[in-house]
């Protein structure tokens, strides 16, 4: 067994590609999909006609009496099964005095359970040829497993036991703490510092998103067995757990295995509340200037952001296209403005991040400090123009192409299906909406994008952070008639 830890880059949006799909059939078949389902079952789907024909999987949703939710879809290409146990136990649920506990719990789940020692778990999974990866996100924790279908029940049993009844051996906590100095050491870049400051302005000073997915060494050293057990008891409960299974399996067999693995896990009631957000004390229209004269090559870093709606917001599809028009591709408006027209900087881009804690849109880039005033002016002018005049049909078509670029690979693997179902479960996205992203993108018109731009791209409401040499940057900011709050 490979006991690896997978970590996403900080604040990187990873949702878009996995939303792309041509069609999906659920246990409740959408209107007009019955014929496609009949063709699929009979093996008479139309042949190639210049476009890739995708197999249409059937997604089953179910639950156990104790509240464990189930997502299942059969994939027949290989004799493999993938198991993803998702728990509402992400970083945002950590108590204020126990930062790092979500990571600590996930990393020690496989260190020993009620039925097996950690060594027994490692040896057993190795014999089965199963790969297991624990992971902690802002919004959830998960234990992912991949195994041969013939070993599905055994692997599921090990993972269920680890999630529901871990032992947290003292020696393994000491090992985690001993290794923390080596494995968790990281230096924050100038760009990351600017992003963190911008997220705090948008989402609140105490926003979980301003922290790294990885805890600090000090946070790991402060963990205790009592904190680990208390967090597990409060968050790892069946009604807060979703099991996603994809693979070459029959659901009747899967359901029986799930009942055996999770059926005796009892519901709990205790909830640990996340900390409330608080403001950073900077006036909304002020520029937050982070004074730093040691940036690489003397560059100045810019972050302009705005809070947005949830993943389920009606503006999601037009927002994805607006994001692409502004910051993605060779013809992105930011690139054309700051490099094609004015030769200031080619690296400005946009990003959209969604979380239970806070969701935001952000413009990011770096440039020479001597053009700070030009950068801020040209970006604000572009935002006003886009909100007023919208986007051209040509730009919208290019954006659709960018957003749908990975559409043909939507069902290429178990992993893609796992990602789609995980996002639906974590963010409570109706499956019909989650799996009709292609249709949603194609239905967006230029007027929809302009409406979202008018709501979102208001320079006076954008939180602005500039990181750079104060002596060079501050006079240029003040020359624009803007006030600046300075922090070292």
Most confident option among 114-118, 253-257, 411-415: 253-257
Give pLDDT tens digits for 142-195: 999 999 999 999 999 999 999 999 999 999 999 999 988 777 666 679 999 999
Residues of the chain with CATH 3.30.830.10: 16-28+54-262, 287-413+432-487
Query: Is the model's pLDDT at 60 over the cut of 80?
Result: yes
CATH architecture group of domain 287-413+432-487: 2-Layer Sandwich (3.30)
Q: How confident is the model at residue 305 (pLDDT cuts 50, 70, 90)?
A: very high
For residues 13-37, average pLDDT: 38
| Amino acid 26: pLDDT | 37
Range from 40-44, 235-239, 259-263, 477-481 carrying the lowest mean pLDDT: 40-44
Flag whether pLDDT at 49 surpasses 90.
Answer: no
Q: What is the mean pLDDT of the chain?
A: 85
Q: Is the pLDDT of residue 445 over 90?
A: yes
| pLDDT of the residue at 182 | 77
pLDDT over threshold 90, residue 386: yes
Q: Residue with structure tokens 């806070």?
A: 358
pLDDT in tens, 244-274: 999 999 999 999 999 999 999 998 765 544 4
User: Taking a C-beta distance cutoff of 8 angstroms, is the pair 83, 245 a contact?
Assistant: yes
- pLDDT over threshold 80, residue 102: yes
pLDDT exceeding 90 applies to what percent of the chain?
69
> What CATH class is the domain 16-28+54-262?
alpha beta
Output the pLDDT for position 44.
46
Categorize the per-residue pLDDT at 384 as very low, low, confident or very high, splitting at 50, 70 and 90. very high
């Amino acid at each position: 067994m490979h006991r690896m830890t997978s970590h996403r880059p900080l604040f990187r949006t990873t949702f878009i590609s996995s939303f792309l799909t041509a069609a999906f059939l659920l246990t409740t078949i959408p209107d007009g999909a019955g014929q496609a389902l009949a063709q699929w079952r009979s093996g008479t789907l139309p042949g190639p006609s210049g476009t890739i024909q995708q197999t249409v999987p059937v997604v089953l949703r179910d639950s156990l009496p104790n509240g464990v939710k189930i997502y299942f879809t059969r994939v027949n290409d290989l004799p493999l099964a993938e198991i993803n146990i998702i728990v509402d136990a992400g970083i945002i649920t950590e108590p204020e005095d126990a930062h790092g506990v979500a990571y600590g719990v996930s990393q020690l789940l496989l260190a020993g359970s009620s039925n097996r020692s950690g060594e027994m778990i490692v040896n057993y999974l190795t014999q089965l040829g199963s790969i297991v990866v624990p992971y902690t996100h802002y919004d959830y924790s998960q234990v992912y497993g991949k195994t041969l279908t013939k070993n599905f029940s055994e692997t599921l049993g090990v993972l269920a036991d680890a999630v529901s009844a871990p032992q947290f051996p003292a020696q393994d906590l000491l090992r985690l703490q001993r290794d923390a100095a080596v494995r968790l050491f990281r230096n924050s870049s100038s760009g990351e510092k600017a992003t963190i400051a911008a997220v705090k302005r948008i989402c609140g000073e105490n926003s979980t998103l301003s922290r790294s997915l990885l805890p600090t060494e000090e946070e790991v050293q402060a963990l205790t067995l009592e904190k680990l057990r208390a967090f597990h008891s409060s968050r790892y409960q069946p009604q807060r757990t979703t099991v996603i299974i994809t693979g070459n399996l029959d659901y009747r067999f899967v359901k029986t295995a799930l009942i055996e693995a999770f059926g005796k896990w009892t519901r709990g009631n205790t909830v640990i509340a996340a900390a409330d957000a608080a403001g950073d004390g900077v006036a909304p229209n002020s520029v937050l200037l982070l004074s730093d004269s040691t940036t690489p090559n003397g560059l100045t870093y810019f972050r302009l952001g705005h809070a947005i709606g949830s993943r389920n917001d009606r503006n999601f599809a037009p927002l994805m296209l607006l994001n692409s028009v502004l910051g993605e591709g060779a013809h992105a408006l930011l690139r054309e403005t700051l490099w094609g027209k004015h030769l200031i900087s080619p690296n400005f881009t946009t990003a959209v991040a969604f979380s239970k804690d806070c969701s935001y849109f952000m413009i990011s880039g770096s440039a020479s400090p001597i053009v700070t005033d030009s950068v801020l002016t040209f970006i604000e002018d572009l935002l006003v123009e886009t909100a007023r005049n919208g986007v051209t049909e040509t730009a919208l078509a290019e954006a659709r192409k960018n957003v749908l670029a990975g559409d043909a690979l939507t069902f290429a693997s178990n992993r893609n299906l796992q990602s789609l179902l995980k996002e639906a479960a974590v963010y409570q996205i109706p499956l019909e909406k989650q799996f009709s992203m292609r249709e949603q993108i194609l239905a967006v018109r230029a007027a929809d994008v302009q409406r979202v731009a008018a709501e979102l791209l208001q320079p006076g409401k954008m939180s602005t952070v500039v990181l750079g040499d104060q002596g060079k940057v501050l006079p240029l900011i003040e020359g624009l008639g803007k006030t600046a709050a300075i922090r070292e």
